[in-house]
């Protein structure tokens, strides 16, 4: 029996984000090159995307390459970029078939041209997918995003489009790369580290957090369902007390 059957379909997180960590250590523990870990990690992506779709998740944001990852050895960076081109091209038909729409957030202009082109092609071809939006965070970091938002808001005030006294949380949301996405319900990190590594800092303000020691290449359908079941056990109080929630008070 799959854990999918145990999931309460009325309480599925609408938006899950995953820090896919542990590819290198997975490979090292098998005496393999780090590259092999990244290749195997791409297989996990396929499994988890399909599992999220089956569970009824609407948005899945995957941290695939951070701003800080540009500091890795050049060879590893180019392997990752090539892997992206290959995987995106290979998976496009499957995404279309499953009603999955691709979207990217991050400093996409920094990516090599062929990676950018492959992503744009896939985004265009999958644009009518309605089951799940798969968001790849590439050359993304939260501080990069927040600095850009601050600059854009400042420019808006300067040129009269925005009134500084009317700036609210919603205004800030509007200037983030996640502006059209639902609230982040669940943030998962694989690979054993208990840190956020500059990912969705604003958006994770009230997310449930789920950390697992499992390396990303070992994370699969059932592991995702486990994380969703754990999420369903939480009482999300958003600052209130339990009794207020029970009474269904606003
Ligand atoms: C995550 O795995 C993948 C990326 C950051 C691109 P790592 O490559 O960070 O794997 P570890 O943490 O070294 O094991
Ligand atoms: C976080 O993993 C970034 C991605 C998964 C893309 P890292 O392996 O880069 O994180 P740190 O450096 O250990 O915090
Ligand atoms: Mg890592």
The 10s digit of each residue's pLDDT in 117-172 is 999 999 999 999 999 999 999 999 999 999 999 999 999 999 999 999 999 999 99
In this prediction, residue 246 carries a pLDDT of 81
Q: Which of 244, 240, 210, 202 is nearest to 227 (CA)?
A: 210
Q: Report the percentage of the chain scoring pLDDT > 70.
A: 98
What pTM does this model have?
0.97
The verdict on the CB of residue 35 being under 6 Å from ligand 1 is: no
Q: Which of 76, 22, 18 is nearest to 47 (CA)?
A: 18
Give the number of other CB atoms < 10 A from CB of residue 108.
Answer: 16
With contact defined as beta carbons under 8 Å apart, do 204 and 184 qualify? yes
Catalytic residue among 33, 69, 173, 198: 69
Which atom of ligand 1 has the smallest separation from the CA of 28? 14
In this prediction, residue 187 carries a pLDDT of 99
In this prediction, residue 250 carries a pLDDT of 60
Instruction: Give, for ligand 1, the residue of 18, 24, 140 to mutate: max count of ligand atoms closer than 8 Å to Cβ.
Output: 24
Domains of the chain: 10-141+183-247 (3.40.1180.10)
249 pLDDT above the threshold of 90 = no
What is the arithmetic mean of pLDDT over 175-187? 98
Q: Is 21 a catalytic residue?
A: yes
Distance 21 CA to ligand 3 centre (A): 5
The 10s digit of each residue's pLDDT in 64-99 is 999 999 999 999 999 999 999 999 999 999 999 999
Strand intervals (E) in the chain: 15-19, 59-66, 100-105, 132-140, 186-189, 208-211
The 10s digit of each residue's pLDDT in 41-57 is 999 999 999 999 999 99
| Residue partners of 120: CB distance under 8 A and separation at least 6 | none
The 10s digit of each residue's pLDDT in 19-39 is 999 999 999 999 999 999 999
Instruction: Give, for ligand 2, the residue of 69, 70, 141 to mutate: max count of ligand atoms closer than 8 Å to Cβ.
Output: 69
Calpha distance 230→37 (Å, rounded): 27
Helix-helix angle 221-232:34-55, to 10 degrees = 50
123, 134, 173 from 162: Cα distances, Å: 31, 31, 14
């Amino acid at each position: 029996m799959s854990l999918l059957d145990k999931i309460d379909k009325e309480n599925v997180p609408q938006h899950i984000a995953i820090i896919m960590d542990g590819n290198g250590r997975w490979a090292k523990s098998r005496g393999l090159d780090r590259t092999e870990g990244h290749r195997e990690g791409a297989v996990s992506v396929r499994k988890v995307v399909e599992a999220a779709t089956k569970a009824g998740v609407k948005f899945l944001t995957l941290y695939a390459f951070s701003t800080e990852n540009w500091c890795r050895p050049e060879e590893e960076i180019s392997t990752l970029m090539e892997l992206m081109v290959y995987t995106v091209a290979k998976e496009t038909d499957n995404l279309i078939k499953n009603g999955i729409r691709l979207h990217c957030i991050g400093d996409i202009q920094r990516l090599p041209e062929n990676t950018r082109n492959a992503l744009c092609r896939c985004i265009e071809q999958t644009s009518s997918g309605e089951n799940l939006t798969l968001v790849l965070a590439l050359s993304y970091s939260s501080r990069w995003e927040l600095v850009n938002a601050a600059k854009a808001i400042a420019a808006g005030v300067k040129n009269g489009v925005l009134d500084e006294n009317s700036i609210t949380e919603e205004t800030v949301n509007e200037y983030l790369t996640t502006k059209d996405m639902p609230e982040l319900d669940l943030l998962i990190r694989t690979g054993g580290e208990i840190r956020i590594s500059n990912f969705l800092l604003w958006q994770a303000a009230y997310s449930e957090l789920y950390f697992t020691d499992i390396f990303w290449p070992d994370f699969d359908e059932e592991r995702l369902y486990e994380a969703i079941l754990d999420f369903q056990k939480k009482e999300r109080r958003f600052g209130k007390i339990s009794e207020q929630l029970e009474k269904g008070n606003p």
